[in-house]
């Protein structure tokens, strides 16, 4: 099987991903992922919305599984098979901010332990490391800000990356940004003002 990253927003597919999708005879994906690539799906392809993620491991070798963002950044890349990368929210967010991400700590809080993610982020911030948090709609940005209280940091909420409503909201631990979308990630950086 192939696990294909469809990017975190429109226009963020790689040529390799487009090729794999257009040649596929069997595709599985979320509604959002399928809609993002629909124009590349050939007419003879069978397309299925994923209803049981556990059943994906039993798909035939020729199946293509669509993963939003990049399959190995909180995606479906752990299923195995051939992995075709996509443009991730990490890449898009740091590009939008114009900030290098070579030493960033990546924390996956998407559908996972939010408290543990916040603790890990605070530890990394005390070490002056930039932090990228893959959030989900319930991620408590206010609790993150509380854990970072007293540190000279900027908190960026990057939401709807690659979509028409893309927006970056910036705040501090004392005045944190508030997301107004369910699709967002957080970047926490030392406040290096000149």
Full strand arrangement of the beta sheet holding 153-159: 105-108, 131-134, 184-190, 153-159, 167-171
Q: Report the predicted TM-score, pTM, of the whole model to 2 decimal places.
A: 0.90
For the chain, which domains are there?
A: 2-87 (3.40.1010.10), 90-190 (3.30.950.10)
What whole-number distance in Å separates Cα of residue 119 and Cα of residue 116? 5
**For 50-66, how does the pLDDT look when each residue is reduced to its tens digit (9 = 90+)?**
999 999 999 999 999 99
Element housing 27 (H / E): strand 26-29
Distance of CA 192 to the CA centre of its chain: 26
**For 137-194, how does the pLDDT look when each residue is reduced to its tens digit (9 = 90+)?**
999 999 999 999 999 999 999 999 988 899 999 999 999 999 999 999 999 998 865 4
Count of CA atoms in the C-beta half-sphere (13 A) of 141: 30
| pLDDT attached to residue 41 | 98
């Amino acid at each position: 099987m192939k696990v294909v990253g469809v990017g975190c927003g429109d226009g963020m597919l790689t040529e390799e991903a487009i090729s794999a999708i257009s040649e596929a005879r069997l595709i599985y994906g979320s509604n959002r992922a399928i809609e993002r690539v629909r124009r590349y799906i050939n007419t003879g392809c069978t397309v299925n919305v994923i209803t049981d993620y556990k059943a994906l491991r039993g798909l035939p070798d020729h199946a293509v599984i669509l993963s939003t963002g990049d399959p190995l950044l909180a995606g479906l890349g752990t299923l195995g098979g051939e992995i075709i990368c996509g443009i991730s929210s990490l890449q898009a967010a740091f590009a939008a901010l114009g900030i290098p991400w070579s030493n960033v700590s990546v924390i996956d809080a998407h559908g996972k332990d939010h408290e543990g993610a916040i603790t890990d982020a605070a530890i990394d911030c005390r070490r002056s490391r930039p932090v990228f948090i893959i959030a989900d709609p319930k991620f408590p940005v206010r609790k993150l800000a509380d854990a970072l209280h007293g540190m000279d940091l900027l908190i960026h909420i990057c939401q709807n990356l690659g979509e028409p409503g893309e927006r970056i909201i910036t705040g501090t631990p004392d005045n944190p940004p508030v997301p107004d979308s369910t699709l967002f990630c957080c970047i926490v950086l030392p406040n290096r003002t000149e």
